[in-house]
Amino acid sequence: MPPPPPPPPPPPAVLCYHRVGGPLELGVTRVPTAVFERHMEALARDGWHTLTLEGFATRLQRGVVASCNEFLLTFDDGYASLAEYAYPILDRLGFTATTFLITDHVGSLNTWDVRYTWRRLAHLDWPAIEHWKARGLEFGSHGASHRRLTWLSDAEAAAELERSRETLQRRLGPDAARAVAYPFGARDARVQRLAGAAGYDLGFGGVRGNGSALNVSRVPVYLWDAGRTPVGVRRDVVGRLGRAIAHVANRCAVGTSVMQGVRCWVSGVRGPYPAPNA
């Protein structure tokens, strides 16, 4: 009897940073610039290189990992401080990355979020996005207004996905409209179906995906992930433990969604779970 075929190779690792540098916050998603720089320099020294979205999609579709030292680097929310602290480090190291933008908030403050900082934080504006796109960075959708898609009706979720994609396509071209990172990593079969119907061919969720192109797993890098290399690319016991902790922390973001919902409900903006953003 022939031996069973080997399992398909795992897809390349996907790291998800949020804020790099800038003001301190009460939350856990800000990574100091020195930690980010240490991560990137260690990965570069160890021979890692970053994938483009196209390269990542190709490996995912074909089940091929050309090198065990490839990863996709992503940022959620699109804060303006990325251009100040993170992008220049990537530029120096020859790394690329994909930043998922909250398209209704490009060029404005993060009024969609619970207030974790003394002052509201600025998002990247279109000129900065166009500048860094021309230098080889990529952009995608993080929803139009960061609403938790799994809590919305079909029509509302579709509108979030479609409006965001249409904005990206109009401002940056079709290659910026192929991928979505679900706000909070919250997705289910219905949201994935709606994302596909809206025209996305890649969808990024939380730590535990199912291997399909519209439910790709990512490992968030949180405040405590301050070692030489982020846990998302480690294949040892520390990596497995770190990914389990990141999964729990990601699930805890539901508290932020609830606070957003309550805030909007109190202000009478929308229904009971109106714009549960964070």
Q: How far is the CB of 236 from Zn ion (least distance, A)?
A: 29
Residue 191 C-beta-side C-alpha neighbours within 13 Å: 25
Nearer to Zn ion, 78 or 242 (CB): 78
160 contacts Zn ion (rule: CB under 5 A): no
Q: What are phi and psi of 203, to 5 degrees?
A: -135, 125
Q: Could you write out the DSSP letters of every residue in 170-200?
A: HHH-GGGGSEEE-GGG---HHHHHHHHHHT-
Q: How far is the CB of 146 from Zn ion (least distance, A)?
A: 6
Q: How far is the CB of 17 from Zn ion (least distance, A)?
A: 11
Q: How far is the CB of 164 from Zn ion (least distance, A)?
A: 12
Nearer to Zn ion, 43 or 253 (CB): 253
Q: Could you write out the DSSP letters of every residue in 65-120?
A: -S-TTEEEEEEEE-BTHIIIIIHHHHHHHT---EEEE-GGGTTSB-TTS---SSSP
69-97 b/e (C-beta count within 10 Å ≥ 16 → b): ebbbbbbbbbbbbbbebbbebbeebebbb
Look up residue 256 and give its amino acid.
T
* Piece of 73-81, 90-98, 190-198, 241-249 that binds Zn ion (CB under 5 A): 73-81
Nearer to Zn ion, 76 or 225 (CB): 76
CA-wise closest residue to 203 among 14, 64, 18, 67: 14
Handedness of CA 23, 24, 29, 31 (dihedral sign): positive
113 contacts Zn ion (rule: CB under 5 A): no
Total number of residues binding Zn ion (CB under 5 A)?
2
76 contacts Zn ion (rule: CB under 5 A): yes
CB-nearest residue to Zn ion: 76
Q: How far is the CB of 227 from Zn ion (least distance, A)?
A: 24
Nearer to Zn ion, 183 or 274 (CB): 183
Contacts to Zn ion from residues 215-274, by CB under 5 A: none
* Piece of 44-52, 77-85, 228-236, 237-245 that binds Zn ion (CB under 5 A): 77-85
Q: How far is the CB of 48 from Zn ion (least distance, A)?
A: 25
- The residue within the footprint of Zn ion, chosen from 77, 113, 160, 225 (CB under 5 A), is 77
List Cβ neighbours of 89 (8 Å cut-off, separation of 6 or more). Answer: 33, 36, 37, 40, 95
Q: How far is the CB of 84 from Zn ion (least distance, A)?
A: 19
Residue 193 C-beta-side C-alpha neighbours within 13 Å: 6
Nearer to Zn ion, 74 or 229 (CB): 74
In 3-state terms, what secondary structure has residue 10?
coil
In 3-state terms, what secondary structure has residue 30?
strand
* Piece of 25-33, 69-77, 188-196, 208-216 that binds Zn ion (CB under 5 A): 69-77
Give the position of tokens 């071209």. 173
Nearer to Zn ion, 76 or 160 (CB): 76
Nearer to Zn ion, 37 or 77 (CB): 77
List of residues contacting Zn ion (CB under 5 A) = 76-77
